[in-house]
């Protein structure tokens, strides 16, 4: 089932990925179209960050295809991958700002690396990007002087510096207070719409995500177990979706990590 019509910007087809013997993802199908904000949700260790890394070309699938803008990520040379990444932006969980540069230089970094624009124009562009995230006044601050939410916003300004066609967000709401969380969520939606880009976010935060995304994929035990629009997800009676949306401790995602019965272990204790 495709969530929208037209040629998808990102398409995963029967993707499998394993670290050695340990299978992380299997038979994953996923599509994302331009203009969409898509959330990938799932428990810790379910493989959703791996999915994001496959889309970003940091990992290569063992089987199946990962296509971004029609290009198969599994068969790109390093230079072709870098050319594609110049049209992508990624927001890391804790911002990943360069700690030896101030806010201005962090945002200017991709512009200086990939364009030959004059310094005055770079300055104007950086200030515009910082203005868009509400931190123009913080341009001279160092990353150590920023709060978690501010660092995330600066990282967002840096990620959109080159006006990407695809934005990837790794846990954009982790560890944020409600105000910062709302600000980041609002910015993700607004920047996506302004750029005409597609956005994929890996997140645990169900309520914040359902309010802003167009489509949701649920990942569990390495596979897509449910997907749909936020309205469909809220109305879903799928046990996994229900457990996740209502934050229930036990259900299809078990409370206990797999282990032999406790009684059998107690028997082993010497008397």
Q: Among residues 47 and 56, whose Cβ is nearest to another protein?
A: 56
- In this chain, which of 4, 63, 96, 142 binds another protein, going by CB under 8 A? 96
Distances (CA, A) of 146 to 139, 149, 153, 155, 163: 11, 8, 10, 11, 24
Least distance (Å) between residue 60 CB and another protein: 14
- In this chain, which of 13, 93, 115, 229 binds another protein, going by CB under 8 A? 93
Tell me which stretch binds another protein (CB under 8 A): 109-117, 171-179, 181-189, 227-235: 109-117
Cα–Cα distance between 148 and 143 in angstroms, integer?
10
Q: Among residues 27 and 113, whose Cβ is nearest to another protein?
A: 113
Cα–Cα distance between 216 and 230 in angstroms, integer?
7
Q: Which residues pair with 224 in a beta bridge?
A: 219
- In this chain, which of 7, 45, 82, 147 binds another protein, going by CB under 8 A? 82
Tokens of 152: 């995330």
- Does position 193 bind another protein by CB under 8 A? no
Coil vs helix vs strand at 50: helix
Burial classification of residue 66, based on how many CB atoms lie within 10 Å of its CB (0-12 exposed, 13-18 middle, 19 or more buried) = buried
- In this chain, which of 5, 44, 77, 99 binds another protein, going by CB under 8 A? 99
Cα–Cα distance between 156 and 107 in angstroms, integer?
9
- In this chain, which of 83, 121, 140, 194 binds another protein, going by CB under 8 A? 83
- Does position 90 bind another protein by CB under 8 A? yes
Cα–Cα distance between 214 and 194 in angstroms, integer?
16
- Does position 148 bind another protein by CB under 8 A? no
Taken as a whole, the chain contains a residue count of: 271
Tokens of 177: 């207070």
- Does position 56 bind another protein by CB under 8 A? yes
- In this chain, which of 88, 135, 201, 213 binds another protein, going by CB under 8 A? 88
Tell me which stretch binds another protein (CB under 8 A): 65-73, 80-88, 214-222, 231-239: 80-88
- In this chain, which of 62, 109, 204, 242 binds another protein, going by CB under 8 A? 109
Q: 89 with 160: CB under 8 angstroms?
A: yes
Q: Which residues contact 45 (CB under 8 A, 6 or more apart)?
A: none
Cα–Cα distance between 141 and 222 in angstroms, integer?
41
What DSSP designation does 257 have? P
- Does position 117 bind another protein by CB under 8 A? no
Q: Among residues 19 and 82, whose Cβ is nearest to another protein?
A: 82
Tell me which stretch binds another protein (CB under 8 A): 76-84, 177-185, 223-231, 256-264: 76-84
What residues make contact with another protein under the rule CB under 8 A? 56, 58, 81-83, 85-86, 88, 90, 92-94, 96-99, 109-110, 113-114, 155, 168
């Amino acid at each position: 089932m495709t969530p929208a019509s037209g040629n998808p910007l990102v398409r995963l087809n029967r993707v499998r990925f394993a670290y050695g013997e340990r299978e992380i993802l299997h038979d994953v199908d996923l599509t994302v179209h331009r203009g969409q904000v898509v959330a990938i949700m799932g428990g810790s260790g379910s493989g959703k960050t791996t999915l994001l890394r496959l889309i970003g070309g940091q990992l290569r699938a063992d089987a199946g295809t990962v296509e971004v803008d029609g290009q198969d990520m599994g068969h790109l040379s390093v230079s072709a991958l870098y050319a594609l990444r110049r049209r992508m932006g990624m927001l890391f969980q804790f911002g990943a700002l360069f700690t030896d540069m101030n806010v201005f230089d962090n945002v200017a970094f991709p512009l200086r690396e990939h364009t030959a624009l004059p310094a005055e124009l770079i300055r104007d562009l950086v200030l515009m990007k910082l203005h868009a995230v509400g931190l123009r006044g913080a341009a001279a601050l160092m990353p150590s002087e920023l709060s978690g939410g501010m660092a995330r916003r600066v990282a967002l300004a840096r990620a959109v510096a080159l006006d990407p066609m695809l934005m990837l967000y790794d846990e954009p709401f982790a560890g944020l207070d409600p105000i910062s969380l709302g600000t980041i969520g609002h910015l993700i939606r607004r920047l996506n719409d302004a750029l005409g880009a597609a956005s994929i976010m890996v997140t645990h935060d169900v309520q914040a995500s359902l309010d802003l995304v167009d489509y949701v994929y649920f990942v569990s035990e390495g596979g897509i177990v449910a997907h749909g629009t936020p309205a469909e997800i809220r109305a879903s009676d799928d046990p996994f979706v229900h457990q996740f949306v209502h934050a229930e401790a036990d259900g299809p995602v078990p409370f206990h990590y797999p282990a032999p019965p406790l009684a059998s272990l107690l028997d082993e204790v010497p008397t």
